[in-house]
Structure 1
């Protein structure tokens, strides 16, 4: 699906909010700040809020070091507020949920946001695979709900998958496409389907690479080198799995196996590594040591 009307950049709402300040949420907040919006970042408690703010501060400071800020890091960070209450989203014109990939948790958070903001406020989810239609049930009216799937690490990634549900209003899609361009990223518009476009293809490749390691076809390093040099992928599927998190990949694969069939059944090796705590970069060990 092509982006509607090849929309130009559209000014972001003066105030935006991100719920969830982990690596993805902090990266999204960073992108919104650099695009000129005032951002409220919502976390569960004061310690998590402080850690989330620290992530954004580091990202903004790195942008300053690279010379990509239009103003000072201090000025950009003055537009960031962290809070531990969902009420912090009340004045936002766009709210992006970026909590863990749990349907129940996302529905709970999105429902709380929908009860806090006005009915015309756009609510987005950063899910990488869950159904937009199902999540929209928590955010009436469903026409204002959309998927904005950012990629990790957000500051370095040039892509955002704009995922439309059955009820998503065309004007909301057009605004979302424009906002993505304002953040300096390229949007692709995808109809709601399990795994969308990127997770579906990326997981399929990653699972097959894991099966090849389990079968002794080649080492993780050689498989990744083959894909990087032979197919010009910027990073191999196994190193990417380490960066995404083996537990995250396992969760997406389980969901895709349930919705699309056995071809997405997670390999035994992936299950074993997750059960042993080998989750990739965040645990210090995956297919590579970190």
Structure 2
């Protein structure tokens, strides 16, 4: 199927990044969110990112304006009636996603593909909220989207081969690398990453070492670009906790039990960079 116009739902960190790379790849883009102020914030981030590209000589001012000109803002899901692909990047909550997909099933054209950027929730369950489960698929981008190359493509139980091939081709067009993954809790990336972060939190909780020492061991010893506690702050401790809970519930295995210290920080509102404090303090 030929895709010319895409809707991205959610203008937050992930949604704005997805919108940017789609517009840069030449797609017409509808950026949707529930509030105008969220759209404004998302578009400001896109503008800043593109301006940096201009400053570095990777893009001309004219090219930047062309990219921005391909993005139309929207606060109404009914605007999905004119697109061939929807990429949902709303809050990581199953009930919210099912509500969105049920509405998209009514508004989007019959041939449209509905994709979710969920980082851990089952695609099959999201697809069950629609009457087109064969056209529902997972398209999990990595953060920050404009920089990271990987996209996990997750088939639901009913996802059609043709839909997978279309999304795989679009991923290549975006300059990303698609990797096929089956529909299990956390997929591949978070099933491996989150338990590592959780174990780092346990290591701090049990007094094995300081947060700085834990991060230094993983950076210098394992060649990680940033330590797991710094990474947790970057992702958001609430997001880390939520994904660990999904893994714990999905597998019923205590090896995925979230560390009590992680729960305590989230309850305290220490969510990482976005709140100004997590394992580290941020100005």
- Structure 2 residue 71 is matched with structure 1 residue 80: yes
Find the counterpart in structure 1 of residue 92 from structure 2.
101
**Cα distance change of structure 1 residues 64 and 88 upon mapping to structure 2, 3 Å threshold:** farther
State the Cα deviation string for residues 170-193 of structure 1 (Å, max 9, x = none): 111111111111111111110000
Aligned residue for 2:201?
Answer: 210
Secondary structure, aligned partner of 1:259: helix
Distance 1:110 1:57 in 2: 29
Counterpart in 2 of 1:278? 270
RMSD: 1.5
Which secondary structure state, in structure 2, belongs to the residue aligned with residue 27 of structure 1?
helix
Q: Which deviates more, 46-55 or 112-121?
A: 46-55
CA contact (8 A) 1:27 1:59 kept: no
User: 5+ unaligned residues in a row in structure 2: which ranges?
Assistant: none
The 3-state SS of whatever aligns with 2:275 is coil
Post-superposition CA distance 1:3-60 (Å, at most 9, x none): xxxxxxxx97221110111110000001101111111001102222222222222222
**Alignment-derived partner of residue 22 in structure 2:** 32
Matches within 5 A, 1:110-149: 110-149=101-140
Please show how residues 241-256 of structure 1 align to structure 2 within 5 Å.
Answer: 241-256=232-247
Is residue 262 of structure 2 the alignment partner of residue 234 of structure 1? no
Q: TM-score, normalised by structure 2?
A: 0.95
Closer/same/farther in 2, CA of residues 140 and 62 from structure 1, 3 Å limit:
farther
8 Å CA contact retained: 2:83, 2:109 = no
Which residue in the other structure is 1:55 paired with?
Answer: 45
1:184 aligned counterpart, secondary structure: coil
Per-residue deviation at 1:145?
Answer: 0.7
Per-residue deviation at 1:157? Answer: 0.9
Contact 2:10/2:89, CA 8 A, preserved across alignment = yes
Structure 1 segment 60-71 matched on structure 2, within 5 A: 60-69=50-59
The reply on whether 1:90 has 2:81 as its aligned counterpart is yes
- Determine if the alignment matches structure 1 residue 223 to structure 2 residue 210: no
Moved beyond 4 Å, runs of 4+: none
1:262-289 Cα deviation digits (max 9, x unpaired): 2111111001100111100101111122
The 2-side partners of 1:20 and 1:236 are apart by 29
| Local SS of the residue matching 1:72 | helix
Q: TM (normalized to structure 1)?
A: 0.93
Matches within 5 A, 1:187-206: 187-206=178-197
Deviation at 1:251, TM superposition (A): 0.7
Separation (CA, whole Å) in 1 of partners of 2:270 and 2:179? 33
Rounded Cα–Cα distance in structure 1 between residues aligned with 2:200 and 2:80: 41
SS in 2 for 1:156: coil
Question: 8 Å contact 1:12–1:182 — kept in the other structure?
Answer: no
